Structure 1
Amino acid sequence: MMIDMNETKLQTLAQVQSFLAGTHDIALRVPKSEYYGFMERVLKRFEYASLSRCDKGWVLRYLEHMTGLSRQQLTRLVLRYRKSGKVVKKRQPPKNGFHRRFDATDVSLLAEMDALHGTLSGPATKKLMERALLIFGDERFERLSGISVSHLYNLRDGTQYQSRRRHWTKTRPTGVPIGQRRAPQPNGSPGYIRIDSVHQGDQDGVKGVYHINAVDSVTQYQLVATCERISEAYLLPVIRQLLDEFPFAILGFHSDNGSEYINYQVAKMLEKLRVEFTKSRPRHSNDNALAESKNASVVRKNLGYAHIPQQFAAQVNAFCAAFLNPYVNFHRPCFFPETVTDAKGKERKRYRYEKMMTPYEKFKSLPEASQHLKLGITFEQLDAIAASMSDNESAAALNKARQQLFKTIFAA
């Protein structure tokens, strides 16, 4: 049954009061599509602005009864009427949707950048895109270079990004006990390296190759080399190779307590080179944390966990020297901590985005950096290496060489 009610016959507040009293238990509602027009007509009919406070309350009760809106909603709409003389919707939904600052092209570029560099952290990826625009002049990254780190992760979580590339779940790294009875004390000078071994897996009881990972404590300048075994005959030449390839003089050598480093042969070699030899302390896991973190973020990320037979050690070592080490040191940004001491004397580490740079850039930024260079090495030579290719070109060359390397290994 439909009831056609002509409420315009209610002309006085006395009639409104009688109406409300007589329809207290009856649900009468104005269609939702007519709320705003109905309210505007009622407020004009009773000259709402000129009513007393008590009479305004009766008008609001009447509107609440007829529309079902809450008193708070009615109060807001009445306030809008008193300001403009109309009761209308304040906001309209956008006709063509919200403007998107980053389109499908930007998402594709982000996926390409992550594929080249192995999905680095958000700040590192942002820094790479800034470098691509400002240093290497790649205008495709003009919008992405200004993206916030939090929104970068939003784009990575989107369906457009997910449809363009596949993610590989990182395997949990294996902890390695570390070092000597004293932590190295570089005091801001390069040349105090931390070193660790990474084993490339066993298969059917046969050992794989071993990677030797050496990282400078101050600049994070990193070199990776590979040998068949970690016995004296194989390991000592690789350690000597790493010490020779650093562009600055080596002053300190810090390792864990593994017998491959804590032995008379290594100690004799370091003593001959006048290099300070330290090892990690018990219950001080940070003594060699830098090298272990680089094991996961560089060695494992680029060489994986799969078994590599020992006969391929020379090929893997050549790959590291020609592609991995130049990419890591000249093209891969790193965070550098800033130590802040609070009022209570407690030191805290702050990793500021502005302090992010490549290891080579960090080395050049040190005071009197040229004094630390080895004899016969100049910054002009190192600058030429850094500028020989862009970050993306170096990453592409690294990926291509790695694919060819593993294709050769797995085909054997």
Structure 2
Amino acid sequence: MTNERRKMVLRGRSHTKPGSLFKSQIPVRTWTEWDDAVPGFVEIDLVGYERGNNRDEFCFTLTVTDIGTEWTVNRSVRNKAQRHVFAAWIHVMEVFPFPIIGIDSYNGSEFIIQQLLRFCQERPITFARSLSGNKNDGACVEQKNWSWVRDLLGYQRYDSPEELELLNQI
């Protein structure tokens, strides 16, 4: 592929900003009790649809994948504001076919929030996070991000309420 053609290929960007306020209260997964052979231990991640333009508001999809069974549920949100991501999380919990007993998230500020920490502490849910900068953490959910989200929807920009509704129908 020529250099000019390579420039035309759409690629996604990472939209994760480190969440630090409550990070010390959430253990790193390698130091946490974790039995991913049992259904209910999940990895979570967000995928953004900005088509290389991250100005203004655009949609994201929350991907939640069970590590043992690879069962995956997606829920799209209008942006990655904590309230939208948490509401998507509640939706996923309601439709998941078995109880979620452990969450492994990235270190992004959309996940490392007091609301999700309190939610997990009030239920028997283990909440763990990945190591900062470790690209292999979340391999199961990353594979589903590709096969369920990017392969199907590509890298286009989705930012309207109508597109958000269609993303959630898919």
TM-score, normalised relative to structure 1: 0.34
CA contact (8 A) 2:29 2:104 kept: no
Question: Which whole-Å CA distance do the structure 1 matches of 2:83 and 2:77 have between them?
Answer: 10
Paired position in structure 2 for 1:96? none
Larger relative contact order (Cα-Cα within 8 Å, sequence gap ≥ 6): 2
Give the 5 Å matches for 1:104-119: none
Q: 1:314 aligns with which of 159, 165, 168?
A: 165
Q: Using a 3 Å threshold, how does the CA distance of structure 1 residues 310 and 279 change in structure 2: closer, same or farther?
A: farther
Paired position in structure 2 for 1:191? 40
Paired position in structure 2 for 1:182? 29
CA contact (8 A) 1:189 1:218 kept: yes
Paired position in structure 1 for 2:124? 274
Paired position in structure 1 for 2:4? none
Q: Deviations over 1:110-143 (max 9, x none)?
A: xxxxxxxxxxxxxxxxxxxxxxxxxxxxxxxxxx
Question: Which whole-Å CA distance do the structure 2 matches of 1:219 and 1:176 have between them?
Answer: 28
CA contact (8 A) 2:82 2:113 kept: no
Paired position in structure 2 for 1:215? 65
Give the 5 Å matches for 1:315-394: 315-317=166-168, 319-320=169-170
User: Once the 2 structures are TM-superposed, how far is the Cα of residue 217 of structure 1 from its aligned partner?
Assistant: 0.6
Q: Deviations over 1:64-103 (max 9, x none)?
A: xxxxxxxxxxxxxxxxxxxxxxxxxxxxxxxxxxxxxxxx
User: Once the 2 structures are TM-superposed, how far is the Cα of residue 227 of structure 1 from its aligned partner?
Assistant: 0.7
Q: Point out the structure with the larger helix share.
A: 1
Give percent identity, aligned residues only. 24
Q: Using a 3 Å threshold, how does the CA distance of structure 1 residues 293 and 261 change in structure 2: closer, same or farther?
A: same
Q: Using a 3 Å threshold, how does the CA distance of structure 1 residues 305 and 189 change in structure 2: closer, same or farther?
A: same
Paired position in structure 2 for 1:84? none
Matched residue SS, 1:278: strand
Paired position in structure 1 for 2:22? none
Kindly provide the amino acid, as one letter, of the partner of residue 316 in structure 1. L
CA contact (8 A) 2:12 2:48 kept: no
Q: 2:139 aligns with which of 252, 273, 289?
A: 289
Question: Which whole-Å CA distance do the structure 2 matches of 1:274 and 1:171 have between them?
Answer: 41
Kindly provide the amino acid, as one letter, of the partner of residue 67 in structure 2. S
Question: Which whole-Å CA distance do the structure 2 matches of 1:204 and 1:196 have between them?
Answer: 18
Q: Point out the structure with the larger strand share.
A: 2
Q: Using a 3 Å threshold, how does the CA distance of structure 1 residues 279 and 310 change in structure 2: closer, same or farther?
A: farther
Give the 5 Å matches for 1:129-144: none
Give the 5 Å matches for 1:25-40: none
Matched residue SS, 1:235: helix
Q: Using a 3 Å threshold, how does the CA distance of structure 1 residues 262 and 289 change in structure 2: closer, same or farther?
A: same
Matched residue SS, 1:206: coil
Q: Using a 3 Å threshold, how does the CA distance of structure 1 residues 233 and 176 change in structure 2: closer, same or farther?
A: closer
User: Once the 2 structures are TM-superposed, how far is the Cα of residue 255 of structure 1 from its aligned partner?
Assistant: 0.4
Q: Deviations over 1:291-322 (max 9, x none)?
A: 112212221111211111142323321x13xx
User: Once the 2 structures are TM-superposed, how far is the Cα of residue 262 of structure 1 from its aligned partner?
Assistant: 0.2
CA contact (8 A) 1:210 1:227 kept: yes
CA contact (8 A) 2:61 2:76 kept: yes
RMSD: 2.6
Paired position in structure 2 for 1:257? 107
Question: Which whole-Å CA distance do the structure 1 matches of 2:91 and 2:82 have between them?
Answer: 14
Question: Which whole-Å CA distance do the structure 2 matches of 1:182 and 1:238 have between them?
Answer: 22
Kindly provide the amino acid, as one letter, of the partner of residue 29 in structure 2. R
Give the 5 Å matches for 1:76-95: none
Question: Which whole-Å CA distance do the structure 2 matches of 1:189 and 1:201 have between them?
Answer: 36
Paired position in structure 1 for 2:98? 248
User: Once the 2 structures are TM-superposed, how far is the Cα of residue 172 of structure 1 from its aligned partner?
Assistant: 5.3
Unmatched segments (≥5 aa) in structure 2: 1-8, 19-25
Question: Which whole-Å CA distance do the structure 2 matches of 1:176 and 1:229 have between them?
Answer: 11
CA contact (8 A) 1:186 1:217 kept: no
Larger Rg: 1
Matched residue SS, 2:119: helix
User: Once the 2 structures are TM-superposed, how far is the Cα of residue 204 of structure 1 from its aligned partner?
Assistant: 8.0
Question: Which whole-Å CA distance do the structure 2 matches of 1:200 and 1:172 have between them?
Answer: 10
User: Once the 2 structures are TM-superposed, how far is the Cα of residue 188 of structure 1 from its aligned partner?
Assistant: 1.2
